[in-house]
């Protein structure tokens, strides 16, 4: 799951670079926006991952699973 968060973050940064260069933005502006996109998606994905793991742990506090 953590690999998925990182993959989505890198994809968002890559798309930001591609779109920024296609629109003719300056290189520094594109890199700043790509860094911001990467950090935003990474932080949001990490928070969502923590939420999912905490909910799963609350459902099975002893580590057991149904079935």
**CA dist., res. 25 & res. 12, Å (int):** 17
Q: Closest Cα to residue 31, out of 12, 9, 16?
A: 16
What is the pLDDT at residue 59? Answer: 83
Mean predicted confidence (pLDDT) in 30-48: 95
Q: Tell me: pLDDT of 43 over 70.
A: yes
- Residues 3-27 pLDDT 10s: 988 999 999 999 999 999 999 999 9
- The proportion of the chain whose per-residue pLDDT surpasses 90, expressed as a percent, equals 67
- What mean pLDDT is reported for the chain? 89
| Alpha-carbon Rg for the chain in angstroms | 17
Structure token digits, residue 4:
């998925």
For the chain, the structural domain boundaries read 2-59
Structure token digits, residue 40:
């935003």
Structure token digits, residue 54:
């905490």
Q: Tell me: pLDDT of 66 over 80.
A: no
């Amino acid at each position: 799951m953590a690999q998925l968060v990182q993959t989505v973050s890198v994809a968002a940064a890559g798309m930001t670079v591609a779109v920024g260069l296609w629109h003719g933005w300056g290189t520094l502006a594109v890199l700043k926006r790509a860094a911001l996109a990467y950090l935003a998606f990474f932080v949001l994905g990490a928070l969502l991952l923590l939420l999912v793991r905490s909910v799963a742990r609350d459902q099975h506090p002893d580590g057991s699973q149904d079935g």
